Chain A
Amino acid sequence: MQYLPALLLLAALMAVWELAVALLDIRPYLLPAPSRIWSAFLRIGGTLPHHTWTTMAEATLGLALAAAVGVALAALIASVGLVRRVLYPLLVASQAVPMIVLAPLLVVWFGFGMAPKVIVVALVGFFPIVVNTVDGLLGADREMVGLVRSMGANRAQVLRHILGPSALPAFFAGLKIAAAYAVVGAIIGEWVGAGSGLGIFITRSQASFRIDQVFVAIVIVALASILLFALVQLAARLATPWMYVHERKDEG
């Protein structure tokens, strides 16, 4: 099994952690041992699906919004030189605004519902999507464009047959980065205020010094991120099968 080494390493780290907490007599409100986190999970497990579901929904919707906006912006930036010179530097500058500062403002503007969380996820995620997709569009083989133009292709056909497909792998590379940050983005969005979600769960647990519960949430956030990432990876395989030709041959 390909993930066996990773799992073994994880198990070893857990063992070290458990031992260290016991031997060094670390207080549970500073660092709970894995066994303690596990019993916290068993105790509160029932309330977790609800929170997890909320956060995953925010992350997924935010990612979809990031993809839609990212692709549209990328198309604009790649096709219009003026937009590239004006908008690109602004986009880069926009990444300097810390999300921690922006999130409370979004709540003020959009309320305590799902909207501000989805927007935070989209704001975190659209940048790598734009940058990668622009590179993909601009990196299309000029001679391939020439070939289909010699066949009489119009602009839409050049986009459909050459530019689009050659940007697709780059788009997915950007989407993967966005997916890795999406769950964390949703949690930052919930930080300020929410009815449910892992972020608000973490905030409440911290307020009542249940550090073991915080760790339970952290584990779930990690698993949710991995799941989202894996889904994007799967989508990439389905949408760009030609990129995985050699890999498949090696396995066979």
Chain B
Amino acid sequence: MSEPAIELRGLSHRFGEGEHAVSAVQDISLSVAAGSFVSVLGPSGCGKSTLLRVLAGLLVPTAGQALVRGRSAIATPGLVGYMPQRDLLLPWRRALANATLGAEIAGEPVEAERERARGLFQQFGLAGFEDVWPAQLSGGMRQRLALLRTFLIRSDVLLLDEPFGALDAITRRAMQAWLQDVWMRDRRTVLFVTHDVEEALFLSDTVYVLTERPGRLLTHVDAPFARPRLPSLVVEPAFVQCKALLLEALDRGAPGG
């Protein structure tokens, strides 16, 4: 096996100093093989977003290492495609111009990128909204546009922070199926953050479970189901069994558990 696409070694982070310090994550080590889809599952506030921000090069951790394709990602932005938890669409750019932001910053020809983006607008159910301002989009549409923008970034490693958090159950399932499709096409490495157990299992090769804050690695569960996975997978006994394992792990990670 070649070097992992993502590797965390003994990663810890504390916000602030002294008695007001908040320990967000503690001693996390994990590795994500190139071309795999891995989820991080954990309760709110356990440090999932913190992990992604370290890997995106935006946050310098208090201890440990973070590598992306063998290079240290610490204080080194630009190695990954990062989708933050908030959609962070730029209000002063119309929808299509938001989608092509990454290409523009990378100095790639914007005209070709626009064509690529138009195709994705269709797939994301955003056709016809290319020229509206972000303020005119619904919460779910904004999130889909943010995901679209992330997929247009030319990086083999994508970090997605609860990309479907703002979607209703119906759209969410459709987007999960779509994500699986797109991911299978070019098999970019994805590190996916969620607190939806079923979503994590449905999409991933491996699911890592974190404890309550400060987040520590509790266990990981493999999801060895053949792809493409169908929506009916979630009621099959093998899937339900994995889900039970994860839920039990989450219970153990809760205080007093």
Residue ranges of A at the interface with B (Cβ–Cβ < 8 Å): 141, 143-144, 146-153, 157, 161-162, 165-166, 168, 240-242, 245-246, 249
Asked whether B106 lies within 8 Å of A152 as measured between CB atoms, the reply is yes
Q: Does B35 contact A (CB under 8 A)?
A: no
Query: Is A149 within 8 A of B88, CB to CB?
Result: no
With beta carbons under 8 angstroms apart, the residue of A146, A152, A166, A241 that contacts B105 is A152
Further contacts, 16 of them, CB under 8 A, given A146-B53, A148-B101: A143-B84, A143-B88, A146-B56, A146-B58, A149-B57, A150-B77, A150-B80, A151-B77, A151-B82, A151-B105, A152-B77, A153-B105, A157-B105, A162-B90, A242-B135, A245-B133
- Number of CB contacts from chain A to chain B under 8 A: 61
Partner of A152, one of B78, B90, B134, B136: B78
Residues of B at the A interface (CB closer than 8 Å) are 53, 56-58, 77-78, 80, 82, 84, 86, 88, 90-92, 101-102, 104-106, 133-136, 153
A144 to B84, CA, bound (A): 9
> Is the beta-carbon distance between A150 and B56 smaller than 8 angstroms?
yes
> Who on chain B is nearest to A148 by CB?
B105
Q: Report A-chain residues with C-beta under 8 Å of the C-beta of B92.
A: 165-166, 168, 240, 242
Q: A150-B58, A152-B106 are in contact. Are A143 and B133 (CB under 8 A)?
A: no
User: Nearest Cβ in chain B — how far from A136, in angstroms?
Assistant: 12
**Closest beta carbon of chain B to A239's beta carbon, Å:** 10
Give the one of A153, A241, A249 with max B CB within 10 A: A153
Q: How far is it, in angstroms, between the C-alpha of A151 and the C-alpha of B80 when the chains are bound? A: 8
- Cβ 8 A contact of A149, one of B77, B91, B135: B77
The residue in chain A whose Cβ has the minimal distance to the Cβ of B56 is A150
CB distance from B35 to the nearest CB of A (A): 21
Give the residues in chain B near A241, CB-CB below 8 Å: 133
Q: A168 to B90: give the CA distance in the assembly, Å.
A: 13
Select which of B84, B106, B134, B136 is within 8 A of A147 by beta carbon. B84
Inter-chain contacts of B88 with A (CB < 8 A): 141, 143-144, 147
A249 to B136, CA, bound (A): 9
Closest 10 CB pairs of A and B: A152-B78, A165-B92, A150-B82, A150-B56, A146-B58, A151-B105, A149-B77, A245-B135, A150-B77, A245-B133
A151 contact from B101, B134, B136, Cβ within 8 A: B101
Q: Considering the chains assembled together, what is the distance between the CA atoms of A141 and B57 in angstroms?
A: 18
Distance of A143 Cα from B56 Cα, bound (Å): 12
- B58/A149 in contact, CB under 8 A: yes
Contacts of B77 in A (CB 8 A): 149-152
> Given contacts A144-B88, A147-B88, A150-B57, are A245 and B136 in contact (CB under 8 A)?
yes
Whether the pair A151, B58 counts as a contact (CB closer than 8 A) is no
- Are the C-beta atoms of B102 and A151 separated by less than 8 Å? yes
Among A151, A161, A166, A242, contact of B78 (Cβ-Cβ < 8 Å): A151
Ordered by A's residue number, 13 sampled pairs between the chains whose C-beta atoms are within 8 Å are A141-B88, A143-B88, A144-B88, A146-B84, A149-B58, A150-B80, A151-B77, A151-B153, A152-B77, A152-B78, A245-B133, A246-B135, A249-B136
Closest Cβ–Cβ distance, residue A35 to chain B (whole Å): 51
CB distance from A248 to the nearest CB of B (A): 10
Question: Cβ of A143: which chain B residues have Cβ within 8 Å of it?
Answer: 84, 86, 88
The answer on a CB contact under 8 Å between A161 and B133 is no
B106 / chain A contacts, CB cutoff of 8 Å: 151-152
Cα distance A246–B91 in the bound complex, in angstroms: 12
Chain A residues with Cβ under 8 A from B80's Cβ? Answer: 150
Rounded to whole angstroms, the CA-CA distance of A27 and B92 in the bound complex is 58
Which residue of B78, B91, B104 is within 8 Å of A150 (Cβ)?
A: B78
Residue of A nearest to B58 (CB): A146
Docked CA distance A151–B81 (Å): 7
Chain B residue at minimum C-beta to C-beta distance from A144:
B88
Chain B residues whose CB sits within 8 angstroms of the CB of A166 once the complex forms: 92
Min distance, Cβ A144 to any Cβ of chain B, angstroms: 5
A143 to B104, CA, bound (A): 19
CB distance from A165 to the nearest CB of B (A): 4
Give the residues in chain B near A240, CB-CB below 8 Å. Answer: 92
Q: Which residues of B contact A144 (CB under 8 A)?
A: 88, 90
